[in-house]
């Protein structure tokens, strides 16, 4: 599936892969063609075959935030932070602040 949208670009040819999407930008053109699989097309909830640049960056931004949040949750579980209560967190913060004050 190819998605075509308009934007203002005037840079040299380049390719970049982000979230499994291949971008191809051509010098002096205002149309950007993106090849994306049908699976990714459905996954990202793209509303049609034509998309403006702002909407595309919003979709990619949401996907990157989702991936980063999943990494944070995985790290919290790995280091036992996901089971901490608010009281535990407050105690940790106070201990770090006390330690920081004593080292100045």
What confidence tens digit (pLDDT) does each residue in 45-92 have?
888 777 777 888 888 899 899 999 999 999 989 988 888 888 998 999
CA-to-CA separations, 42 to 46, 60, 69, in angstroms, rounded: 7, 13, 21
Helix (H), strand (E) at residue 71: helix 53-78
pLDDT at residue 9 greater than cutoff 50: no
pLDDT at residue 38 greater than cutoff 80: yes
- Who wins on pLDDT, 77 or 22? 77
pLDDT at residue 100 greater than cutoff 50: yes
* DSSP three-state, residue 5: strand
Beta carbons within 8 Å of 84's beta carbon, 6+ residues apart: 92
Q: What's the domain count of the chain?
A: 1
Mean of per-residue pLDDT scores for the chain: 76
Q: Across residues 14-26, what is the average pLDDT?
A: 51
Q: What is the pTM of this model?
A: 0.53
Residue 20: what pLDDT?
53
98 lies in which domain range? 2-102
């Amino acid at each position: 599936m190819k998605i075509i949208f308009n934007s203002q670009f005037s840079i040299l040819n380049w390719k970049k892969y982000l979230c499994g999407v291949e971008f191809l930008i051509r010098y002096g053109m205002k149309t950007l063609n993106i090849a994306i699989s049908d699976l990714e097309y459905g996954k990202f909830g793209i509303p049609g075959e034509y998309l403006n640049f702002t909407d595309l960056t919003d979709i990619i931004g949401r996907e990157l935030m989702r991936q980063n949040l999943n990494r944070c949750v995985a790290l919290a579980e790995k280091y036992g932070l996901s089971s901490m209560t608010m009281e535990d967190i407050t105690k940790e913060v106070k201990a770090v602040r006390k330690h920081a004050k004593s080292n100045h």
